[in-house]
Structure 1
Amino acid sequence: MKTNGTLPVIVKETIDLNDKEKQIFDRLHKVIAHFNLETKLRVVGGWVRDKLLGKECYDIDIALDNMLGREFCEKINEYLVSTCEETQGFDVIQSNPDKSKHLETTRMSLFHVWIDFVHLRSEDCNLQFGSPKEDAYRRDLTINTLFYNINTCLVEDFTKRGLDDLKFGKIVTPLPPKVTFLDYPLRVLRAIRFSTRFGFEMVEELKVAALDNDVKSAILGKVSKERMAFEIDLMVNGNQPTKALTYIYDLGLFSIVFTPPTNHKPLILEEHEKSCVEYMDLAWRQFHEVGCNFIDKQRRLYLYASLFLPIRNTVYVDNKDKMVYVVNYILKNSLKFVGLKT
């Protein structure tokens, strides 16, 4: 349980499965039994965290201890053939270490729910199979290191602090923060998002690592604008958008996630960063005071518009000697118009 100035958060001791989850996991049990496999299946990450918080979640990631995800999906289809059921197609997303994508992931739909299958990652994050403990320590945050063992129906905490950090509302990395961030730099933004989503406290060591120039360079060099835009949009569409953007500013990440044109003087944008966040905060408070009846898309556009209001008249000269608004450049190249899509 945590208070942190808000209502207490209760963390459950066990996970209660709904009917759909029972159906999915029963199917996986039958596949293992049919082929007499020694494979242990564990649900990892956000699903475990959310279920322990009493929230429903259909983002199910399953880690295997002795085979690749595509191999297990092939076994599922073999089982379906044996029971005269329709086989399911699956997609294999290859690893890409240069972009911090260390694991091959296989996606398959079971009972109309998409499941991601991966193998447990080893300490050096290559294709070798790791132990559950090794895998847990390679994850982003301790609250996301918890496993639900489908074979035993038990929650497993291999870092010995995942449950405690969830109970006491701490945003902590399993390994030293700089190591975790350099392994996958997008985790800096994920730490901010989870902190503001749950109202959890980012520990000081994590903030120091996020301010590190090596980490910032890694974000710029290894994380695509699409992935950054996705995380930022989740923050803006979340329950504490201005707190999230305040973290972005305080940690010196504003010009990284909202990258200005290369031929634009960065100082002109940097001197407006604080004002951008303040305008968004004012708009957010006004939104609640007036009681605007916006749908999600309208709310996002309202907040993005308020965020960039201080630089609305800032322009640059593009490679065709044409005057272009910096905001237009950011929307197109940094946010990829993400606020306009859905």
Structure 2
Amino acid sequence: MKFTLKTATSHFFLTRFSLLRTPTVTTIPLPLLNYPLPTRTTTTTISTPSFPIYCACAPMSIATQHILQVRDKIELSDIERRIFDRLLATLRHFNLQTQLRVAGGWVRDKLLGKDCYDIDIALDNMMGTEFVDKVREYLLSIGEDAQGVCVIESNPDQSKHLETARMNLFDMWIDFVNLRSEEYTENSRIPSKQSFGTPEEDAYRRDLTINSLFYNINTGSVEDFTKRGISDLKSGRIVTPLPPKATFLDDPLRVLRAIRFGARFEFTLDEDLKVAAACGDVKDALAAKISRERIGTEVDLMISGNQPVKAMTYICDLTLFWTVFNLPPEFEPTISDGCERLCIAYLDTAWNLVHLLKESTFTDEERRLSLFAALFLPLKNTTYQVKKAKVVPVVNYIIRDSLKRKSKDAEMVLDLHRASQKFLSLIPCLASNEGLQSDDIDWMRRLINDVSAASRVRVLTGFLLRELKDLWRVALLISILLHPIDINNIEDESLQLHKRRDMFNTVESAIIKLGLNKVWEVKPLISGKDVMNVLQLKGGGPLVKEWLEKSMAWQLANPSGTSEECIDWLREANSKRVKLE
């Protein structure tokens, strides 16, 4: 369903969500007139291309802002010190002149005082496999075992361009590669030429200055060959070592990595970086050169990270939304201008609502699914046609084809969207004991005709929870996003958010009070064989399935009922059916 916003609320919506150009009429699918929308802050015009700079999460930030302290030197853990001691002993044992440098994220995180268990070591004059063989030989000479030694072959299709040697030391996996210099072809992120490089060349080929730092194991010092990695880390800036457009065209995946790290650390994206990221050439290169699996992995890391709203807002502000969340060639109805802003608005409210609720309400995986479901909520009624004229929601295409996530992810998000509509019809009854509206329960009407009015809410809720199982709280969260909130000031976002939190808690408590929390674990009182005996049927079929569902409806309406009572009810109900026929 679509409608055109023409009220005062529409002006409020357009003020916050219009892009740099303001359309005279905007149609938005699935909006709520009183939905809490993110505040638009300062709009900055940038020469070709231009885009607004604002963050959807700014007005409703629930999570605590983190102030990052950068240390002057790296403090090694006991295990890290033991690992590095073994590596240095290997150099001495074989009289090697190799410089060992830990590269990238480990150095960044250690300077920020964070634990990191991803140690990548770059070698200046030998291949990783050659050095690992030396380490293994040395360990055996001192009576220690070298565990888990393996070689990961280069695989350009999976963005693994260098052979990597890996070994396990003191229960930590260590990767060894050589320093390199790379050149790229125009239409691929696979390097056309690789060679041993200097530390400076290797640093400049990295995606960001904050990821270009080295820790020299030989000297015990941090090396900043770009001359700005530490200063950018201290000032909280996301900058590329080389000019950003050239950096992104060499490897367009770096755009998404810049966004992810900017959101994760709440750093500021460099202005030149934003211009380059939003330009047409880089967007085309991102679509053409990067596999959808790699794009999906980056998006998954953003959604699962500590600042998903900020990350998605960056994607939107840089006009990358539909490049990342690519749509099928044909779909209907037409997606309205500004729909991506509404996607982020739903994500923003879901994220803040998750933080307002008890920490134990959702597992990490449930939180991840809830955020994907919220992000794509405005697209839930948009469909495309697949083979044999089957019509499927475009959300399925985005998750399975654009992001190459698991089929199960797509199925769960679609199930959450469908279930949220069912929950919507039950929320008034569960939250305030209102009567069921007959127009809203077509999805289960056939099963409650013989159920007393007082038991219908329990029956319908029970069936819905048996369908959703442990995901029922996630579906409730999504339905709460869709449910209208009755307050006088629609611009009071904090009040709206707290009212949604209160509604979630009220409905959750009502469901638990009805004894339905683990209702999917309740075994049916009667079996298909029982139904066949009562109905005097020789085989199963749709009729048996129908009566099993009706029997479960009776069981939900009579939680203290026994198998014998259920069979008696089945006989009586079947007798009435036979007489009517």
What is the TM-score normalised by the length of structure 2? 0.55
- Pairwise CA distance, 1:246: 0.8
Distance change (3 Å), C-alpha of 1:26 and 1:115: same
Partner residue in 1 for 2:249: 182
Greater shift after overlay, 143-152 or 284-293? 284-293
Distance change (3 Å), C-alpha of 1:28 and 1:266: farther
Matches within 5 A, 1:154-303: 154-264=221-331, 268=335, 271-291=338-358, 293-303=361-371
Aligned 8 A contact 2:331 2:382 in 1: no
- Other structure's SS at 1:249 match: helix
Percent identity over the alignment?
Answer: 58
Deviations 1:144-199 (A, max 9, x none): 11110000000111111011000000100000001111222111111011111111
Partner residue in 1 for 2:134: 75
Aligned 8 A contact 1:100 1:222 in 2: no
Aligned 8 A contact 2:244 2:272 in 1: yes
- Pairwise CA distance, 1:334: 2.9
- Pairwise CA distance, 1:220: 1.6
Gap runs ≥5 in structure 1: none
Partner residue in 2 for 1:56: 115
Aligned 8 A contact 2:151 2:166 in 1: yes
What amino acid does structure 2 have at the position aligned with 1:30?
A
- Pairwise CA distance, 1:129: 0.9
What amino acid does structure 2 have at the position aligned with 1:297?
E
Aligned 8 A contact 1:255 1:270 in 2: no
What amino acid does structure 2 have at the position aligned with 1:189?
L
Greater shift after overlay, 287-296 or 186-195? 287-296
Larger radius of gyration: 2
What is the TM-score normalised by the length of structure 1? 0.91
Aligned 8 A contact 1:301 1:339 in 2: no
- Pairwise CA distance, 1:102: 4.0
Give the Cα separation in 2 of the matches to 1:116 and 1:86: 17
Match of 1:107 among 147, 150, 166: 166
Aligned 8 A contact 1:260 1:266 in 2: no
Partner residue in 2 for 1:337: 406
Structure having the larger proportion of residues in helix? 2
- Pairwise CA distance, 1:272: 2.2
Give the Cα separation in 1 of the matches to 2:100 and 2:136: 17
Q: Quick check: 1:116 aligned with 2:175?
A: yes
Partner residue in 2 for 1:93: 153
Greater shift after overlay, 321-330 or 196-205? 321-330
Matches within 5 A, 1:119-130: 119-122=178-181, 124=183, 126-130=193-197
Deviations 1:46-83 (A, max 9, x none): 10011011111011111000011111112222223333
Partner residue in 2 for 1:65: 124
Give the Cα separation in 2 of the matches to 1:213 and 1:108: 42
- Pairwise CA distance, 1:231: 1.2
Match of 2:77 among 7, 10, 18: 18
Deviations 1:223-257 (A, max 9, x none): 22222111111111112111111111111222222
Deviations 1:298-325 (A, max 9, x none): 1111111111111111111113321111
Give the Cα separation in 1 of the matches to 2:169 and 2:207: 27
- Pairwise CA distance, 1:17: 0.5
Give the Cα separation in 2 of the matches to 1:81 and 1:95: 31
Distance change (3 Å), C-alpha of 1:180 and 1:267: farther
Give the Cα separation in 2 of the matches to 1:100 and 1:90: 19
Q: Quick check: 1:309 aligned with 2:377?
A: yes
What amino acid does structure 2 have at the position aligned with 1:129?
F
What amino acid does structure 2 have at the position aligned with 1:314?
T
Greater shift after overlay, 319-328 or 159-168? 319-328
How many aligned positions are there? 336
- Pairwise CA distance, 1:329: 1.7
- Pairwise CA distance, 1:271: 4.9
Query: CA RMSD of the aligned region, Å?
Result: 2.3
Aligned 8 A contact 2:399 2:409 in 1: no
Q: Quick check: 1:320 aligned with 2:380?
A: no
Give the Cα separation in 1 of the matches to 2:240 and 2:341: 28
What amino acid does structure 2 have at the position aligned with 1:90?
C
Aligned 8 A contact 1:276 1:306 in 2: yes
Give the Cα separation in 2 of the matches to 1:265 and 1:135: 48
Distance change (3 Å), C-alpha of 1:150 and 1:222: same
Give the Cα separation in 1 of the matches to 2:69 and 2:170: 30
What amino acid does structure 2 have at the position aligned with 1:21?
E
Give the Cα separation in 2 of the matches to 1:208 and 1:322: 41
- Pairwise CA distance, 1:29: 0.8
- Other structure's SS at 2:181 match: coil
Give the Cα separation in 2 of the matches to 1:338 and 1:25: 42
Give the Cα separation in 2 of the matches to 1:135 and 1:26: 24
Aligned 8 A contact 1:137 1:145 in 2: yes
What amino acid does structure 2 have at the position aligned with 1:92?
I
Distance change (3 Å), C-alpha of 1:160 and 1:325: same
